[in-house]
Structure 1
């Protein structure tokens, strides 16, 4: 069926793979996978479900609950919480499964379903393939006496808030810092301001009025101009811009300039290496991370290990190599000392802790290296088309790669969450960079 992409199941709400019917079948399949037939009637099994603020979340939450309870799983409904809270609570509440209903940074018309195992980590490709097989084949429901229950959990957000506060050094206060927090009208709209205020910061919250339809709309980590305007208008020291499910972050200085995930990873890697905390002297990032980050690490005797795009692949490489820091240029920062997945709020707290520790302003901490000029064009294509296999596109890519030999690199990939072809290149020669990206993007656009 091709349900799963790079980050769970995602699509336009109420159509395709993102209907109530598919969600019900996914719930039943996941429930059956995590509660085998031989296990029926034994100790209680449970699943925690969180969501962001999209209107379609109500529909999907109910459908997933029906599917899960039909296979004997007891469902604990967390309501709107950040994605990393689901990973945390799946583990701390001894759940067999965690589910987050969110399309992250995507527009409101999209939604998605992400699964976490009992260890709090996202499921492997192999487990997702098995669940997809069960969706296609169908599963037998539990006996009437073994149907699961569902109930609301009122303190899920509070548990996450209390945990997040423990991730900065004991006794440290954020008093004296004026912080703009942009919650993208999403899942962290209550948790993030609460954490910052309880740690002593003066908080200017924006993007905290979700109405079911305004998540990520002209706000959050993908539209940092809103956060920048608030930082400048309020004379804030720093801005923290989260995405719709709060697993991504961008940091802004007092003038509204933005630091992406690469710059944050450079800061944390260098600091952790100084403290002897960076396991294996290695940072894990994706093929999208800037060449400047790699040069910065090499200059300090550290290693950059690259993976395919997707924070789950970063985490898999981190676990395989016993590394504890990784992430993506897009703002997923994964610190397995603190969380099982990208956590925008916790990454933001680590940045604030560095401001307090060093006494330096955000501007002095958020530009660790000089970026190699990089350009990314996202080309949308029609559903069902395969532009990357078109002869003109293949020729354009080959020509671009030939021009960049010895002076840059080209990366072409299809998005795993949207019908987009991402055309990215890096090159010291800005005019050559623009030309090769425009040539390839133009060929893709014509073929799509």
Structure 2
């Protein structure tokens, strides 16, 4: 069965616009509640977390209505990072976990992500089954079997203790000054508190959410403010999280922005030295830089590539028995500790390396020289399909021919936003720019014509 509602990371869109409407959220809650109710008797639980978007209140209530109508008991966590939902789904013996968040998207957007009882995101097949229930409708529970809702006040603290426990016993961050940009999102309390409790000198940014400023010129997608703060405060490192704190971008002490590829290279190399890297491989997506692949190959390690989306990274990790993976965008997945990407946890692992080695952030984030990579996004309107255009296909074929033996090209439609992403890698800067700009220009032209 094909999926219509679900993208690469749950259901996502502009609040109060299909599919992110109250009506759909109620129906989705009822469908997923019916799907995950066990056939046998007993208590049926679902935990719900959210980020700081204004529309989170609306969707929290709508999902609760749908879930309780099918007999699920709802445990409301309030604002917590996405990885906290994965953790608490298993620790609270829930049948299901839900995170209300549009991750790095603007405040007007929102989304709904689902976790199974094992704490991992749902497969494409399960999401397709849930869509079938949404379309066909579900039978509500008998009045005496309607579920209850309860607010859980200490969910954030349970997660904070768990995440600190991923560091070596006794390790402290004394003497390290850290700028942490929480994107006015889900980790606005969690991240500064964890760093402070571990002894760091914390400079917090993006910790004043008002429902409308999540990811607004801050966080992992806008690291410039954090980079300026690192230099201004003489900090040792900057950690930039996104709205739901499942990804991280680093800033070294010079203010240089560092992406997820360099973090994964550092961890893979370190874990391989300690014989901790299972399967001798790192799992990453097609977006990761060719330089990362060459770096791993030089150390006798492999790069296993997947489609874009941390869910696909995790699926490959589980299938192959690997324990380290992630995305260039900053999702770092360590299945020894967590079931999904965790930005703060990855940041703590990096800080632990700074403590262990005594080296500066700039020294630890230069594992390989990236092959020049250029990524440009083209936004398109409803009903427009630029990649189906013969003109666009022709330009792409020409670009592939020009890059043959010199680099690589990746064109894809975003699974979370109405964007066409055009990415190329090539050590010839002029060729790189020409190829990308040529494709972007043709996609823009088609998008305008079809709009």
* TM-score scaled by length of structure 1: 0.99
**1:400 positional shift:** 0.1
Paired residues for 1:89-238 under 5 Å: 89-238=88-237
**What is the alpha-carbon distance in structure 1 between the residues aligned to residue 382 and residue 366 of structure 2?**
39
Within a 5 Å distance, the mapping from 1:15-34 to structure 2 comes to 15-34=17-36
Aligned equivalent of 2:311:
312
What is the SS of the residue equivalent to 1:431?
Answer: helix
Cα drift, residue 258 of structure 1: 1.1
Q: 1:135 Cα deviation (Å)?
A: 0.4
Using the TM superposition, give the Cα deviation of residue 238 of structure 1 relative to its aligned residue in structure 2, in angstroms.
0.5
Q: Cα distance, 1:255 vs. partner?
A: 1.4
Of the three residues 7, 10, 15, the one matched with 1:8 is 10
| In structure 2, distance between residues paired with 1:165 and 1:127 | 33
Match of 2:51 in 1: 52
- Give, in whole Å, the separation in 2 of the partners of 1:116 and 1:341: 10
Alignment partner, residue 362 of structure 2: 363
Correspondence list, 1:244-323, <5 A: 244-323=243-322
In 1, Cα distance between the equivalents of 2:401 and 2:212? 45
Cα shift at 1:367: 1.3
Q: Distance in 2 between matches of 1:197 and 1:338?
A: 21
What do the CA deviations read for 1:277-334 (whole angstroms, capped 9, x no partner)? 0001100000000000000000000000000000000000000000000000000000
Following TM superposition, by how much is the alpha carbon of 1:113 offset from its aligned partner in structure 2, in angstroms?
0.1
Partners of 1:151 and 1:8 lie apart in 2 by 24
Per the TM alignment, residue 222 of structure 1 is displaced from its structure 2 partner at its CA by: 0.4
Give the equivalent residue in structure 2 for 1:414: 413
- Aligned partners of 1:273, 1:237: CA distance in 2, in Å? 26
Where does 1:387-402 land on structure 2 (aligned, <5 Å)? 387-402=386-401
Counterpart Cα distance in 1 of 2:255 and 2:339: 30
CA offsets 1:379-398 (integer angstroms, 9 cap, x no match):
00111111001111000000
- Structure 1 segment 401-440 matched on structure 2, within 5 A: 401-440=400-439
Question: How far apart are 1:179 and its partner, in Å?
Answer: 0.5
Distance in 2, matches of 1:199 and 1:67, equals 41
Name the SS for the 2:83 alignment partner.
helix
Cα deviation per residue 1:59-79 (whole Å; 9 max; x = unaligned)?
000000000000000000000
* Displacement over 2 Å in runs of 4+: none
**Aligned equivalents of 2:257, 2:445: Cα separation in 1:** 33
Secondary structure, in 3 states, of the residue corresponding to 1:30? helix
Unpaired stretches in structure 2, ≥5 consecutive residues: none
Aligned residue pairs, count: 445
Residues 99-139 of structure 1, C-alpha deviation per residue, up to 9 Å, x if partnerless? 00000000011000000001000000010000000000000
For the residue of structure 2 that corresponds to 1:231, the secondary structure is helix
SS in 2 for 1:115: strand
Q: Deviations over 1:210-244 (max 9, x none)?
A: 00000000000000011111111111110000000
**Alignment deviations for residues 353-406 of structure 1 (CA, whole Å, 9 cap, x no partner):** 000000001010011100000000100011111100111100000000000000
Q: State the Cα distance separating 1:245 from its structure 2 match.
A: 0.2
Name the SS of the counterpart of 1:179 in structure 2: strand
Q: TM-score w.r.t. structure 2 length?
A: 0.98
Q: Distance in 2 between matches of 1:115 and 1:45?
A: 16
Using the alignment, how far apart are the partners of 1:109 and 1:445 within structure 2?
Answer: 24
Work out the CA distance in 2 between the residues paired with 1:183 and 1:84. Answer: 15
SS for the counterpart of 1:5 is coil
CA drift at 1:10: 0.2
Gaps of at least 5 residues in structure 1 are none
**Cα distance in 2 for residues equivalent to 1:178 and 1:93:** 35
Distance 2:324 2:289 in 1: 17
What secondary structure is seen at the aligned counterpart in 1 of 2:305?
strand
Separation in structure 1 between the aligned mates of residue 192 and residue 258 of structure 2, nearest angstrom? 21
Query: Could you say what the CA RMSD is over the residues aligned between the two structures, in angstroms?
Result: 0.7
Instruction: Give me the whole-angstrom Cα distance separating, in 1, the residues matched to 2:87 and 2:37.
Output: 21
SS at match of 1:48: strand
